[in-house]
Each structure stands twice: as C-alpha cells, then as structure tokens.
A and B are shown apart, each in its own frame.
Chain A
Amino acid sequence: MIDSHILEAHHLVKRFGDFEAVRGIDIAIDRGESFGFLGPNGAGKTSTMRMISAVSQPSDGTISIFGLDPRTDGPEIRSRLGVVPQEDSLELELSVRHNLEMFGRYFDLPRRIVRERATELLEFTQLTERANDKVDNLSGGMKRRLTIARGLMNRPEILILDEPTTGLDPQARHLPWDRLYRLKREGVTLIITTHYMDEAEQLCDRLVVMDQGSIVAEGAPRSLIERFSTREVVELRFMTDDHEEYFERLSPFAERVEVLPDRILLYVNNGDDTLRDVHAAQITPSSALVRRSSLEDVFLNLTGRSLTE
C-alpha cells in the first residue's frame, strides 16, 4: 500500500467506562497539511489527540501514522511526532534551557545535538534572553512558546497542538501563530485542536467540526462557511430579558434566525439591506452589528449551540 496519508484513522472510538468520548470518527491527513479539530470543550478533541499521538489506545477502530500501528510501534511513532499539550506540563524547577535539553534526551539525542537544537529553538520562539531563568518566572505566553519549542526538539514530521493559544491574551497569540505558520511553510504537518474560530481560520487548511464525540462537518474553513452559513450576519440586541419574543417578528427578514441569551442573529446575504428593512418595519434594537459569517456560525447552525459556552 502506498502511504498516501501521513495519518489515517478509521472508526476511531474511545470509551471511559460507560461514557463514549469519541464515537467512531474517520480522519485522513496528508503530509504537509494543516488540519484542525474545532469543537467546544468535551467534544472529544483531546481524547482523539491522545489516540493519534500514540499515547492512549483506541477502544475500537484503527490508526495508521507514518504507515505504522501505534499498538505495536508506539515508541517509533512518538519519536517522529511533536506534541504540544493543552497543559504546559513544564518542569518548573528547571531553567528554560534545561527543559528543552532534558526533553531532547528522552529522544536519545546526543548531548551536543540537544544543546544545538535548544539554542536554535530558543531563538525561534524568542526566548533566548530567558534561557537561564526558571520556568516558574515566565509569563503564560512564554511558557506556551517554550512548550512549542519543546515539542520541536526531535524535529517532528507531525506537530500535534492541543488548544495552542487557549488562555493567552489576544496579543500574545500572534507570535505562536506566526511560528506555526513558518513551520507549516517548512513542510511540517500540523494537527490543531481549538475552540477559537479565528485560530482555525488562520491556521487550518482543512478542519473537522466535532460535537459530542462525532464529526459533524468537514472541509476548508471558507467552504464550511459557504456551505453551512450565509455570507453575512446581523447581530441585534434588544432591551429585554428574553430575546425569544423577537423571533417571530424577525423571521421574515432572514434565511435563518438564532436566538442567544443576550442577542439575536439574522443569517442573511446582505446585512446592511436587512438592517434597513428591520428599521423600516419599526423594530428598534438597542444595538446592531453587521459582520461576516465565521466558523462560530457554522457550529451554531450544525449543533444549535455556541462554541465557547
């Protein structure tokens, strides 16, 4: 068989007791592709990540990574993977540099190589000046960058990132994004989970939307938006405790109307036109916003729930 996909999974299932965290998903990822798992907390993303990083065994189904089987070739697979877990899990008592060097040693790299790569990766993640500081003293963004650097110590062919920028300030997210983009250009296959739609749109060539352990949609970010949402969205807020009461009156103005606790969303092709029509019908929201559809809207349409709740 020709190894066309760098990673393939068929009917992947993960059970914890009676609870089915992952319910029979299929994935095929190409070499050099940047692939995303989008979904809210508890969608089964992390369980999936742990299976495809050859750490936990699937309860059912098969995985092939580099054409190898994680059940028998776990160490070989893991030596070619980089993993950036959701929790940094850094060695707080060690210096920044020692964290990288020690991690490299787990891959049986000689000390000289480990030192060279640590220096290189500190530069890459802009941590050179903090090389001798204890990890405990780093900011959240720096810890994240160090965790990314750590995941690159073995020069992985696939880098798996679980929520790479969750918990970071908006401005602290740009540096990791830029570095991941560079890796992608160098041909590293990226697998990313996120519940941020902007992250998925920035980084992913293709993604699957996961909900309650299943894949509910798959495609490029743009094409998912085209398929599962309208071009624009009008967000209206009213002075009311229950936006539901506006549902009937606004339905005629849009292809689809979603009522959220604090606002109401109208899915339309031309937001400005719709807003004008709404005002003409003597409906006066306390605030109104026209924006382009995003993956958040795709998710809302597919599951009836919001991503970040």
Chain B
Amino acid sequence: MIINRRALLATAAASATLPAMRARAQGANLKIGVLTDLSGPYKDLAGPQAIQCVYQAMEDAGISGKGMTVDVISADHQNKPDVGAGVARQWFDREGVDIIVEVANSGVALAVAGVAKEKNKVYINSGAATSDLTGGQCNANTIHWAYDTYMLAKSTGGALAKAGGDSWFFITADYAFGKALQRDTTGFIEANKGKVTGSIAYPFPGTTDFSSMLLQAQSSGAKVLGIANAGTDTINTIKQAKEFGVTMTLAGLLLFLSDVHALGLETAQGIVLTDSFYWDHNDKTRAFSARLAKKFPSARPTMVHAGVYSSVLHYLKVAAQAGVPAMKGSGTDVVAKLKAMPTDDDAFGPGSIRIDGRKIHPTYLRRIKKPSESKGPWDYCATISSLPADEAFRPLAEDGCPLVKS
C-alpha cells in the first residue's frame, strides 16, 4: 500500500510538471487553431467538417511549395464561453497558435475575440452569427467571415415582412446569438411597418422540448414564427411545429444546409432561408464541394464550412506574400494585411474585408424545394433573389464600431 501510494503521489507530482516539457514549437511555421463545437448542437453545421476545410484550404493554397509549414490543432468549446476563452488563452500562450478560426457560438466567439485582442493575435470567425463582432464589440484583431445576424435579418426578415408578414412571434435562444438575431430582425420588421407581438427566450444549450413555446406562439395570433436559434435547436423547433400543426409562417432565420438535411424536404419544403454559400450554386462552388467530398463524403459543406475554407485560404495567401515572420508578429498588423488584400475563392467568389472586420460578398435568398423538385441527394435549395455585397451587410455608418472613424 505504501509503495502504491507513493507511486500515486509521484505520478501526480510528475504530471503537474508536464506542461513545461511540452515543446514550444516556434520555427518557421504557422499554427492554426480550430475552436469549434465537436459535441453539441452545432456539430454538423461546423464541427469536424470545419477542421477538414482548414486542410482543404492548405492544400488549395499550395503551401508546401512556398517554404512554410502549417500546423493545425482543434478543440471543442462545449458552447461554454469560459471553456472557449480558456482554450484560446492557452493556445496563444502555450501552443504558439497564430490564428483561431471558426468558433460556432456567438457567446464563445465574443469571448475569444476579447482574448485575441488582449494577446494581439488573429481571430477569423465563420461560425458565430452575432453582428456585434463587427459592431459595438468589434476590434482590430477580429474578422467576421461567412454571415451575420444583420444580413440574415435583412434578407429573410425583410423578404417575409414585405410579403405580408406584419406580426411576429419569436422563439429565441437566450444568449448573444439569439438576442442579436431577434434584435436585428425586429429592426427590419418595424421598418416594414410590422410589429412583434411577443417572444420567448429559452435556456441554451440543453433545451429540446419547444412544445409549450410553440403553443404560446400559436395562440398569440401572430402570422410569422421567428425562429431565432440554430443547429439542432432549429431542427427540433421546426419538427415540433409541424407535429403540433402550427399554422404560422415559419421563418427559419438561420437555417443551414445540414439542418435542411436533418429535417428532410418533406418537413422543410417551402421555407425560405438566407445564405452566402450553397454548394450547388455555380461551377466553382460545385468544384470546391467535390474536392471536399473526397475527404468528407458524408455531407455537403454549409456556409460555415465554406467560410472556414475561404478565410484560411485568404490568410495563407497573405502569409505566402508577407512571409511567416510577419504573420507571427502583431495581430493587428496581420489583420490590416488581410483587410488590404481583396479576397477571391471558389466558395464566395470575389469579395473584400471592410475596416470594421466584416468580410462582404453577395448573399442569397433561397427556398427549400419540394421533394418532387429535388433531383438527387443534397439538392435542396432554389435561389429566389440575391443582394450584392455592398447592400447585403450592415452599412458602416450604422455599425457603432469604434474602428470606423466618422
């Protein structure tokens, strides 16, 4: 027993010193940290496929021929801001991570943006939606890539409000993302002379039963049900709305391809959604999706995946031009370089990054097809209309971002 106990203590003592032995690799290489949801409600719309997209971007950037190596590490933020901020801090401090990408959860994303600013590193968000990242809480170390709540609200919310949806009821995930989405959508409803008759915010994550909220929404008499949540929460809300025979117009304010796949066309048909990337949009998006499908055959990419791919590709292009030492320097300088170069890739086409950190590109309003219209697997959406890049996102003047001067 004595020896056992000593051995136990020795192990405990030795293990406490282990972090020190971990080599701090700081050669001529860059390190990308993918902080994502690997176990929760956003696993399918981001998760493992987002990590795969980083590798795809490295391959397409042809980094091996450009005298640099890129390491990738990943972690699960568990949708907890403290976990995400802790991992980010540790990555910047100990692992020599130069840039964090993805972070599908607005609460976590805002925390990570704060850490990136404090440590003067780079953070390119694709998964989180809140428009506050480029608004009141913007900083010079953060870029927001694929989409945001303002753009969703303008496109889906605006379209439904114009089509006669003048009274709304919201079911909202009670954290940064849900609140931002409801706030931004409400702005467009009211601009179209509509009104919000009520809303329920539910605890996130962990809520799976939406029935009481749906019944309350139905009895409110509102015409449109604004679903201000994402991932499996949206899937559950829509499925349960169908089961309960909710007759309101369902406004899936943020609906990803992975959600449509999980719902099935039978349930989801007719719903309109907004995105900035759809795999079957044009030849280039199809080519990108086909390349990715070789490594990740089970699902087509969502706009989050495309955003991760596109942002890492852009970062590596800038890195090839500026050289690795410059990319390891001040994060604000790196972000300034990223903003200076126009973006172009297969997923989003040509675009640019604004001063507030908002990456802009065209957005599309799409309708989910009827089962009879779908020609094959993953053929889910038909395009209704589009908005050009400079109209789709929140104007700089309305940002409230301190980086935008007068």
Does chain A bind chain B?
A: no
User: Which residues of A are interface residues toward B (Cβ below 8 A)?
Assistant: none
User: Which residues of B are interface residues toward A (Cβ below 8 A)?
Assistant: none
